[in-house]
Structure formats: C-alpha cells, structure tokens
Amino acid sequence: MNNATPGMCPACQKAKLMASTRERHFNPRGNPVVVELQVMECPACGATSTSAAQQIENLRRLAARRKHYGGLLLGEDVLEFRRRHGLTQRAAATLFGKGAIAFSRYENETTYPDDATTMLLSLAMEKPDVVRWLAERTGTVVSLLWTGHRTLPPNPPGVRRGAVAPCPVRQGVQFVQCVDSP
C-alpha cells in the first residue's frame, strides 16, 4: 500500500511538489536546439518527477524538435529501429559498419550519424529487407524482423521471448520472421 500523500514529495514527504521546467540541450551538427521540459520539483529536497500529463507534453515537445534537425534522425528514432529488430547497440554498429559505441552515441545524441549512415538507417527503417541484406553481408544475427508494424508489440504473436525459431541459415545469419497469427 502506498502511504504517500497526494501532491507531496514521494522522496521526503516534507513539501508539496511544485511545477517547474528543465531545459534539455541538443546540438545536431552545430545547430543548438533547446527543449523546455515540464517537471514537478520538491522545494525541500530537490527531487523531481513528472506526471503522466507532463510526460505526454514532454514527448510532444521532444518530437517537435525534429523540424530543427534538417533531416537528421532523432535519438529515439534510432533506438526504436534497433529495438524493433531486436538488435543490441553493438550488433547495430556491426550491421552499419560503425564503431562499437556509435549507436549509444546516436541514441543519446552525443553525436549524430554522418550523412551516408543517416541515409542508410532511414532506408532500413522504411524497407525491412535492407536490414536482411545488410545482415547477410555483415554476418550479423538479427533476432527479430517484425514487418507490417511501426513498433514492436510487447509479445509478438507466435514468438516466445528469447526463442530462436528454426530458420534457414544463409552465410551464418539467422532470422526470426514474425507474422500475425490468425
């Protein structure tokens, strides 16, 4: 049972949370972009949290920064792509011929992919067969190719988490093709 008083700081229970804002700074290719995010802050201990409504608004504000990126991918675009295909950051780096920590940097937006990588990632996002083609040539195991959906559902129909379906192996590459069950 939660004994926290509504509106009170869940960390210290000494003060009511106050609406505040925080700035998040991005620097896509030298173009400074600042997004003001909504938070609730405790004046007593400094703890911060976000309400559901604030989180929704913050996501909208973060997505709105796309117009300032001049065709660059957002970190969350890269993360969504990687998760949709069941790739680790290291496997994604191998798939696209990048260094071991490149995808961590892309997802956190500490660096941005070069133009060629941005184009190839964008193509792979639009055409899942590109992922298959890259995997075959790099020998990267793609544990999941989810087609027909923009995001990966929590439990794809017909696929157990951690299971590898018997699939044809070509050049050392295994694919698990998920399809909707009737």
Name, in order, each residue with C-beta under 8 angstroms of 130's C-beta and a sequence gap of 6 or more.
120, 123, 124
pLDDT digits (tens, 9 = 90+) for 91-140: 999 999 999 999 999 999 999 999 999 999 999 999 989 999 999 999 88
Domain boundaries, the chain: 18-68, 75-178
- Quick one: what percent of the chain has pLDDT higher than 90? 69
Report the sign of the C-alpha dihedral through residues 140, 143, 148, 151, in that order: negative
What is the pLDDT at residue 5? 67
Over residues 154-167, the mean pLDDT reads 41
pLDDT digits (tens, 9 = 90+) for 54-87: 999 999 999 999 999 999 999 999 999 999 999 9
Give CATH for domain 75-178: 1.10.260.40
What the block records as the tokens of 51 is 């309400």
**Among 71, 50, 47, 46, which Cα is nearest to 60's?**
50
Greatest distance between any 2 Cα atoms in the chain: 62
pTM, two decimal places: 0.68
- Asked whether 75 and 106 are in contact (CB, 8 A), the reply is yes
